[in-house]
A and B are shown apart, each in its own frame.
Chain A
Amino acid sequence: MRGNQVLVKTESLKKHFPITRGIIFQQQVGSVRAVDGVTLHIYRGETLGLVGESGCGKTTAGCTILQLYRPTSGRVIFDGTDLTILKGEPLRDMRRRMQMIFQDPYASLNPRMTIARIISEPLRAHKLTSGKEQVDRVQELLRLVHLNPRFINRYPHEFSGGQRQRIGVARALASNPEFIVCDEPISALDVSIQAQIVNLLEDLQDKFGLTYMFIAHDLSMVRHICDRVAVMYLGKIVELAIKDELYDHPLHPYTQALMSAVPVPDPVVERERKRIILEGDVPSPIDPPPGCRFSTRCPVAREECFHQVPPWRDVGGDHFVACHED
């Protein structure tokens, strides 16, 4: 399951998108602070969940870690190598070891390529196999994701959403990566198909010793599949803990509100629950509140929360919180 070796580490990772204005010359007038200082570590073989609501920056964080966006500042260390200073060929080389599974099964596959070409793209890009060997490898990958290899020359539009997502998984596995960022891989699928994909991901992890970063907003599914979970709000991580610890004893007020908001398919439990209903909407990432980002909606906010950025505290048992409250 989870080893003690850290595979991926980020240090104060930031990604800001500039907002420009101007007719002839573009001037920067502000920036969208999508990821604003994320520090986390992922152990080899584990599944780290990254949860949060829309606009919290979790997808941007995943893309920035993989260097699909170059970070504005901060570092990403993959198996000892700092990815942020790599460019060109060496960076492309590293890509063989880290892959991504995308959210939209309809948009993430090129509609004009056969699935054989789609799945073999990593093999061709890194010149890993060719000819008959390549065909064999593609068929092997299709079998791994439970798709019949005889469909090797079909086009994506002939498959259902769940099947396309499995093609995406096969593609991600092609180059034998060690680390896979799963960006909301099941959000676009039907409930009964979600279980198929999640089981597949778990099986593949067992078989190949993969390390996952599982980005999602479905807290129930995250509880099922992840080992540790980090909660994100407006570009920052507010809490990080081992799964059961986070779900049973959430410390950060946002995490508590989030947990209480998730519906449980059990009417007896639902009748007993006390929901923490948050007021208002999420502030804009262009102009986040000074001090603690959550202060504007926090039910227990104090004076200092509005002015001082809360420290990242270790409260024991591998549980971290960014809050002024004890």
Chain B
Amino acid sequence: MTTTEVTWEFFEEQIERPPLTPAQVAWRRFRRHKMALVGVGLLIAIFLYVTVGAFFYSEADANRTDLSITLSPPSPDHPLGTDGTGRCILARTIYGGQISVLIGLFAVIVSVTVGVLIGAISGYYGGHIDAILMRFTEAMFNIPQLFLLILLAKFLSGKIPTFKLLGRSFSGSVIVIIGVIGLTSWMYLARIVRANFLSLKEQEFVTAARCIGSRNFSIIFEHILPNSVAPIVVAATLGVASAIINEAYVSFLGLGVQPPTATWGNMLDQAYHHLDSEPWMWFFPGMLILLTVLGINFVGDGLRDALDPRALTQTE
């Protein structure tokens, strides 16, 4: 009697564990990070603050000056105090927060797009293209960012008109800042993406794709890029924090979004002469920046571990 032979009927293959997509695996691992969950909490809180808060205070409230109550400490009318021209700090942090966060998000969109494109093309094609792009990247790295920021800010300010988004009008300087920050912070990601591509290019599933006859475009976007998602997501997340801080010090130098439009950064700038006397002017925007950046960093850490590609080799 022989052991069972395989005939043309298929035998029931068991897959022991319930199906988990890579996304579900990542979510499980993320959940285990206590600090990452704290970060998520912080970010949700801040998001609610700047969005829901807008229902309680209008933009006019944020910009209304009242010279009779300048530099007053926190009170029932103005829970976070007022600034040098009697504007309500609470309202200003809400609307300022919208802009700071917006700048953070869009600057990252710019830098990720540029960084990934350059890194992918460089890493995949190699040769001369890689050499040229990498020399360019290194050159950009070596130019002090501040210098570029100041240069571009001075050059572009006043040249871009205001625009409307979601019922709020934003001055052109917001676009300038987004562009400036975005175009000076892509290099780090370009290097990472390039390194990722260099190693993934040699993976057997990429060789398999070439063997099948897939086009280069297909291979880059369907095969390699999805497997590089981890460092990109992490870099993008941390990039938002970095962009918010960048905005803060650009504004601190007086080169950012101009008043009366508030951003957390230019609120710090205005508090410069009142550091000891009216601490509420810098404390609250400063705290908000701190909490936002902390929250983002915690989430970024959690994501970095959750998206570790090695996780997929264990069936969790």
Contact A110 B223 (CB under 8 A): yes
Contact A151 B227 (CB under 8 A): no
* Choice from A66, A147, A196 contacting B211 with Cβ under 8 Å: A66
Assembly CA distance A95 to B215 (angstroms)? 12
The reply on A220 being an interface residue by CB < 8 A is no
Contact B211 A99 (CB under 8 A): yes
The reply on B208 being an interface residue by CB < 8 A is yes
The reply on A171 being an interface residue by CB < 8 A is yes
The reply on B312 being an interface residue by CB < 8 A is yes
- Chain A: residues with CB nearer than 8 A to chain B? 63, 66, 68, 92-93, 95-96, 99-100, 102-104, 106-113, 121-122, 125-126, 143, 146-148, 151, 153-155, 157-159, 163, 168, 171, 175, 196, 199-200, 203
- The interface residues of chain B lying within 8 Å CB-to-CB of A171 are 208, 212
The reply on B204 being an interface residue by CB < 8 A is yes
- The interface residues of chain B lying within 8 Å CB-to-CB of A95 are 211-213
* Choice from A109, A122, A151, A155 contacting B213 with Cβ under 8 Å: A122
Q: Mark B195-215, 1 if CB is under 8 A from A, else 0.
A: 000000001110111111111
Segment at the interface with A among B12-20, B49-57, B78-86: B12-20
* Choice from B6, B15, B205, B213 contacting A200 with Cβ under 8 Å: B6
- Total contacts A to B, CB within 8 angstroms? 98
Chain A residue nearest to B309 in the complex (CB) = A111
The reply on B218 being an interface residue by CB < 8 A is yes
Q: Mark out the residues of chain B between 240 and 299 whose CB falls within 8 Å of any chain A CB in the assembled complex.
A: none
**What is the interface residue range for chain B against chain A?**
20 to 34
A selection of 22 A-B contacts at a CB cut-off of 8 Å is: A68-B207, A95-B211, A95-B212, A107-B203, A108-B205, A110-B226, A111-B227, A111-B312, A111-B313, A122-B213, A125-B218, A147-B10, A147-B13, A153-B19, A154-B15, A154-B19, A155-B22, A157-B312, A157-B315, A196-B6, A199-B6, A200-B6
Contact B213 A92 (CB under 8 A): yes
Given contact pairs A147-B13, A159-B15, A163-B13, A102 touches B212 in the complex (Cβ within 8 A): no
Contact A148 B10 (CB under 8 A): yes
The reply on B21 being an interface residue by CB < 8 A is yes
Given contact pairs A155-B21, A158-B19, A109 touches B13 in the complex (Cβ within 8 A): no
- The interface residues of chain B lying within 8 Å CB-to-CB of A92 are 213, 215
- The interface residues of chain B lying within 8 Å CB-to-CB of A96 are 213
Cβ-closest 9 pairs across A and B: A95-B213, A107-B204, A108-B204, A110-B205, A146-B10, A112-B226, A92-B213, A125-B214, A122-B212
Q: Mark B297-314, 1 if CB is under 8 A from A, else 0.
A: 000000000000100111
- The interface residues of chain B lying within 8 Å CB-to-CB of A147 are 10, 13
Given contact pairs A112-B227, A196-B6, A151 touches B15 in the complex (Cβ within 8 A): yes
